[in-house]
Amino acid sequence: MNNTQEMVISLALEAWKLNINRADKLFDTFSDEQWQTDVALGRNRGIYLLGHLAAVHDRMLPLLNLGERLYPHLDDVYLLNPDRAVTGILTADELKLSWKNVNETLALGLDALPETEWLGRHNSISEEEFIKEPHRNKLSVLINRTHHMAYHLGQLALLKK
Amino acid sequence: MNNTQEMVISLALEAWKLNINRADKLFDTFSDEQWQTDVALGRNRGIYLLGHLAAVHDRMLPLLNLGERLYPHLDDVYLLNPDRAVTGILTADELKLSWKNVNETLALGLDALPETEWLGRHNSISEEEFIKEPHRNKLSVLINRTHHMAYHLGQLALLKK
């Protein structure tokens, strides 16, 4: 590893953290009523997207080999089914807490990830496949999930008053 | 430059292109009426966000030292003022053409950018400042603008029928 490479990885990591911070600031402004509102007429509610983001980030823990999932029970309501298909029992405050815990746990793992690991395979690809497709590495997961977060943040920002 | 660094830069570039492709596919499905619709009640219209994205990408040409701007006249309507403050005279088809031309011109420049240039300064930072803040490089512009695009794509996707 050299300094330039270090720089490139830290750029991707900083971009991730920047978007997490933006999300946290935005989420702290929403009332329960705002969380229950559709981001646009007939589309997902804020609370669904919050649970969805928490679930997707939670899945990054095993995917990046950073540990077990904290909230696997989120998937059924917020990931595998569309909004309102399954009734969620968690409040926005509870989901926000899950979101924060997941991101804090991820941050510890990501900050401690040795630079040499970033270009290693993630856990959804076999060693055999990875030889043929070396771009399917841990860094690509981080980049892709940052875009996923930015995409839904754009939608959640529509709930602002 | 080594292989790992090459990989990291190509990951960022692929992520940029993936989002451009997603945008193009989405934009091709919209009717004139959809472009004139607010992404959410009382928010930006689709056509404003299209012009906004074209303007922001157009500004990347001089910023990354890839050439002169193609459509500087977009800024007044789609960047410096909020939606509906200044009446745009361009149709959605004209804006879509600008969007495509800008991205094609950018792609030529980005693909030809020598790897050593990616970590060089962009044109909004002086050489002096860049010594203190070496992360403000061309790659960081590409990463940031990919998130910007994903953010607004999330909003534009709400116009889907």
Which pLDDT tens digit goes with each residue over B105-159?
999 999 999 988 999 999 999 999 999 999 999 999 999 999 999 999 999 999 9
CA distance A113 to A1: 13
Could you tell me which residues of chain A have a Cβ less than 8 Å from any Cβ in chain B? 1-2, 4-5, 7-12, 14-15, 19, 39-41, 43, 119, 134-135, 137, 139-140, 143-144, 146-148, 150-155, 157-158
- Which of A83, A158, A159 would you mutate first to test chain B, the one with the most B CBs within 10 A? A158
Handedness of CA B46, A140, B9, A100 (dihedral sign): positive
DSSP H helical segments within chain B, as ranges? 3-27, 32-35, 46-63, 74-78, 92-112, 115-118, 127-132, 138-156
- Which of A143, A149, A161 would you mutate first to test chain B, the one with the most B CBs within 10 A? A143
- At residue A24, does pLDDT exceed 50? yes
How confident is the prediction for chain A on average, in pLDDT? 95
Is the Cβ pair A135, B2 closer than 8 Å? Answer: no
Task: Work out the burial of residue B80: count CB atoms within 10 Å of its CB; fewer than 13 is exposed, 13-18 middle, 19 or more buried.
Answer: exposed
Handedness of CA B67, B72, B74, B80 (dihedral sign): positive
Which pLDDT tens digit goes with each residue over A53-80?
999 999 999 999 999 999 999 999 999 9
Percent of chain B with pLDDT over 70: 99
How confident is the prediction for chain B on average, in pLDDT? 95
Q: Quick one: average pLDDT of A109-136? A: 93
Q: What is the pLDDT of residue B52?
A: 98
Is the Cβ pair A14, B151 closer than 8 Å? Answer: no
- Which of A5, A6, A11, A144 would you mutate first to test chain B, the one with the most B CBs within 10 A? A11
- At residue A1, does pLDDT exceed 80? no
CA distance A15 to A21: 10
Phi, psi of A137 (to 5 degrees): -110, 180
Instruction: Tell me which chain B residues have a C-beta less than 8 angstroms from the C-beta of A2.
Output: 2, 5
Q: What is the pLDDT of residue B1?
A: 46
User: What is the band of B15 on the pLDDT scale with cuts at 50, 70, 90?
Assistant: very high
Which pLDDT tens digit goes with each residue over A74-102?
999 999 999 999 988 899 999 999 999 99
User: What is the band of A116 on the pLDDT scale with cuts at 50, 70, 90?
Assistant: confident
- At residue A16, does pLDDT exceed 50? yes
User: What is the band of B22 on the pLDDT scale with cuts at 50, 70, 90?
Assistant: very high
